[in-house]
Amino acid sequence: MGGRATLHDVASAAGVSRSTASRVLAGTDRNVDPDLARRVLAASEELGYRANPVARALRRQSTGNFGILVPSIRNPYFVHLVDAFTQVASRSGLGVVLADSGDDPDVEATRIEAFHHAFVDGLAVVPTSLSRSGAAIRRAGERSRVVQVDRWATDAGCGFVGVDNDQGIGTVIDFLRGSGRQRIVFVGAEQETSAGDERLAAFRARARPGDREILLPRFSTSAGRDAATQLLKDGDLPDAALCSADVLAVGLLSTLLKHAARVPGDIAITGYDGTDLLELVDPPISALRHPVEEIAARALGMLLGTEEPSMVRLKADMVLRSTT
């Protein structure tokens, strides 16, 4: 037989009606004679029949798949988050479709629209911009369920699940000061995002004379290296560096060690996400650890309609390693 086998071909080969073949292949064949069901499955196998997922989704008004859109899959934190989202979804028999917006609000808007045409049942978005991402997210929310994760955007009009950045920064600062580190440098980035903005604001609310800031354009290891170069150029290292992302901490640590700085003897270093990346460097880096599985579970609850959309901010805890 030429071309792709259809449901009609399977039904004809099995000698049953199209509706009977459809019920058997969809797994809703409780009232179908077992012999007829075996004939349908045998015919399907012999003809190489594969269901059309788009047609099936249109019939059911559901694909069982949810989308997640992150700013960059090169950032280990977002890989960590996507993995948690996938694990939580799979326990409910659901699938996850991933896309990357490249830290660009215009690309982000295009990706959001593409998800709509891909018939996903809902979409989790990590917004790229506090001020520019809201409109596209709001439009998507008018057509299906959408939730913001880790970051939120102004006027997005949907729920949010992420870490409580004010509590998180406060926890790190309290730990550093409690361990005798009085002069703290805050290494931050991406103030155009809610995460970058909130973390900087939380630090400034607790800053003391002798503290300082280094603000960078991107959360990346190269930005962390740039911060280390600036500290070394200034000469007098602070007592501690509070990095507002793990990748910043890794870049900072690697550069300081190359220039013979002692960690934590000369300077303590903390990350902020708690990804596995921090255990792979020497010395391993202390950090605030985000409850990514709980974030994923609460976000998926909003997408499934089992939890009312709201602004959910979760507590994060310190994980202590060698850099402090």
**pLDDT tens, 176-206?**
999 999 999 999 999 999 999 999 999 999 9
For tokens 């080969």, the residue is: 13
Q: How many CA atoms lie within 13 A of 166 on its CB side?
A: 3
- Indicate the residue type of 101: S
Beta strands in 4-107, from DSSP E residues, in sequence order: 65-70, 95-100
Q: What is the C-alpha to C-alpha distance for residues 49 and 207, in angstroms, rounded to an integer?
A: 65
Model confidence at 28, pLDDT cuts 50, 70, 90, reads low
SS3 164: coil
pLDDT recorded at residue 265 = 97
Q: What is the C-alpha to C-alpha distance for residues 293 and 187, in angstroms, rounded to an integer?
A: 26
Can you give the C-alpha Rg of the chain in angstroms? 25
Model confidence at 116, pLDDT cuts 50, 70, 90, reads confident
What pTM value is reported for the model?
0.81
Per-residue pLDDT tens for 52-103?
A: 554 554 455 566 889 999 999 999 999 999 999 999 998 888 899 999 999 9
Model confidence at 26, pLDDT cuts 50, 70, 90, reads low
SS3 312: strand
With beta carbons less than 8 A apart as the criterion, state whether 274 and 289 touch: yes
For tokens 């920064």, the residue is: 169
**In this model, does residue 235 exceed pLDDT 80?**
yes
